[in-house]
Amino acid sequence: MEIKRSHFTGRFHRIVEVGNTVYLAGVTARNGEDDVGAQTSDVLLQIDELLAKAGASKRGIVTANIWLANIADFAAMNSAWDQWVDAKHAPVRATVESKLARPDLKVEIQVTAISDLNGRAGG
């Protein structure tokens, strides 16, 4: 089976596709000065954009891993998540507190999704 890698950052690929499975690297906010709600919204927008480039959508997400720099931000992150996620197609999810790569980052999200090989994004 072919492995397709795209959007190389110089260190890793942001998207890896194997068959109809789409793996995204962890996504962080573009503006570290935003609060956790705004950072989460930005991350989710980037996830939508990356999945679309791979022929998938948030409806096809099967797993989501979320890292918060401060678990006290759980409710604020969930507020942005709940506005974005399609409850009928919500993935399995884990959320943990973790030190992130930069001190200004408050959230990082990594997802795995399924794309439809016939061209319909995320079933």
The whole-number pLDDT of residue 73 equals 98
Domains of the chain: 3-114 (3.30.1330.40)
pLDDT digits (tens, 9 = 90+) for 76-109: 999 999 999 999 999 999 999 999 999 999 999 9
The whole-number pLDDT of residue 116 equals 73
pLDDT digits (tens, 9 = 90+) for 30-84: 999 999 999 999 999 999 999 999 999 999 999 999 999 999 999 999 999 999 9
The whole-number pLDDT of residue 120 equals 44
DSSP, residue by residue, the chain: --EEEEEE-SSSEEEEEETTEEEE--EE-S-TTS-HHHHHHHHHHHHHHHHHHTT--GGGEEEEEEEES-GGGHHHHHHHHHHHS-GGGPPEEEEEE---SSTT--EEEEEEEE--TTS-TT-
